[in-house]
């Protein structure tokens, strides 16, 4: 009887887990619009992709899980570089449109976990609260980015940090665009080292230079 109960309990759990599978990864275009938030990672920190610690000396970002392509460890987005351009804010009242165009090139080194309603909640069939499928979570403040990178109008809004931006993104080759490209140590020229890290210097999407999905490879939902 106990064995049967345990068996039924396991079946229930398996079905329940299948229910909550978040669906397919997002096959996002090379260029598009997204939201951008920011988060802090300690200097030298080795984030989800397993890129070398020196990557934190240059602009890096976490990408929302369903675009990142894995729920755990590394995914196909690891090491990819994107030029991100600030468009406007809209959680502020009124929305803020900066009178300067600010861009920066980031390397993806981290995973922004899927949530139900947060900025990294975008799925193939569902946008985040900003109406976007992708969110880039910028490592900021960072010694690689000027403190005044984000335009603001403190005298009008009463605060400087808008928190969330509407941005455009453009896929760019890391070697000719990312500030850390000349520092071999920061570039993380590391191919898939079995089950621990995967941080290619310049992933192109080809299987020979792009990370697989750790969670798919290990049947982790």
Ligand X SMILES: *[C@@H]1O[C@H](CO)[C@@H](O)[C@H](O)[C@H]1NC(C)=O
- Minimum CB separation from ligand X for residue 126, in Å? 5
Q: Does 40 bind ligand X (CB under 6 A)?
A: no
Residue with structure tokens 């920061």? Answer: 186
125 is an interface residue for ligand X by CB under 6 A: yes
CB of 155 to ligand X, least distance (A): 6
Q: Using the CB atoms, write b or e for 140-162: b if 16+ within 10 Å.
A: bebebbeeebbbbeeeeeeeeeb
Question: Per-residue contact track with ligand X, 18 to 37, x per CB under 6 A?
Answer: -----x---------x----
What whole-number distance in Å separates Cα of residue 88 and Cα of residue 54? 31
Q: What's the closest the beta carbon of residue 130 comes to ligand X, in angstroms?
A: 5
In whole angstroms, the minimum distance from the beta carbon of 72 to ligand X comes to 18
CB of 57 to ligand X, least distance (A): 27
| 85 interacts with ligand X by CB under 6 A | no
Minimum distance from residue 131 beta carbon to ligand X (Å): 5
* Residue of 131, 141, 163, 221 that binds ligand X (CB under 6 A): 131
Integer Cα distance of 86 and 78 in angstroms: 22
User: How are beta strands 60-64 and 135-139 bridged, if at all?
Assistant: antiparallel
Task: Identify which of residues 2 and 19 has a Cβ nearer to ligand X in the complex.
Answer: 19
Instruction: Please select the residue that binds ligand X; options are 13, 126, 182, 184, rule is CB under 6 A.
Output: 126
Q: Which of 3, 5, 15, 206 binds ligand X (CB under 6 A)?
A: 206
Tally Cβ neighbours within 10 Å of residue 19. Answer: 7
Which residues of the chain form contacts with ligand X (CB under 6 A)? 23, 33, 87-88, 90, 123, 125-126, 130-131, 153, 156, 166, 206, 208-209
């Amino acid at each position: 009887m106990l064995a049967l109960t345990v068996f039924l309990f396991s079946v229930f759990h398996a079905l329940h887990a299948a229910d909550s599978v978040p669906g397919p990864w997002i096959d996002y275009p090379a260029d598009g619009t997204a939201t951008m938030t920011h988060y802090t990672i300690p200097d030298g920190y080795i984030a989800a992709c397993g890129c070398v610690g020196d990557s934190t000396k240059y602009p890096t970002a976490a990408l929302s899980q369903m675009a990142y392509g894995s729920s755990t460890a590394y995914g196909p987005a690891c090491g990819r570089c994107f030029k991100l351009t600030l468009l406007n804010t809209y959680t502020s009242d009124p929305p803020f449109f900066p009178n300067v165009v600010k861009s920066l090139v980031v390397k993806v080194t981290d995973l922004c976990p899927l949530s139900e309603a947060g900025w990294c909640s975008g799925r193939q069939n569902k946008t985040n609260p900003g109406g976007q499928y992708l969110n880039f979570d910028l490592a900021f403040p960072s010694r690689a980015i000027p403190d005044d990178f984000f335009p603001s109008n403190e005298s009008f809004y009463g605060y400087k940090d808008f928190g969330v931006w509407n941005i455009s993104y453009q896929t760019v080759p890391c070697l000719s665009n990312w500030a850390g490209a000349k520092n071999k140590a920061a570039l993380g020229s590391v191919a898939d080292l079995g089950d621990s890290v995967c941080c290619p210097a310049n992933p192109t999407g080809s299987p020979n230079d792009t990370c697989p999905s750790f969670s798919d490879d290990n049947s982790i939902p």
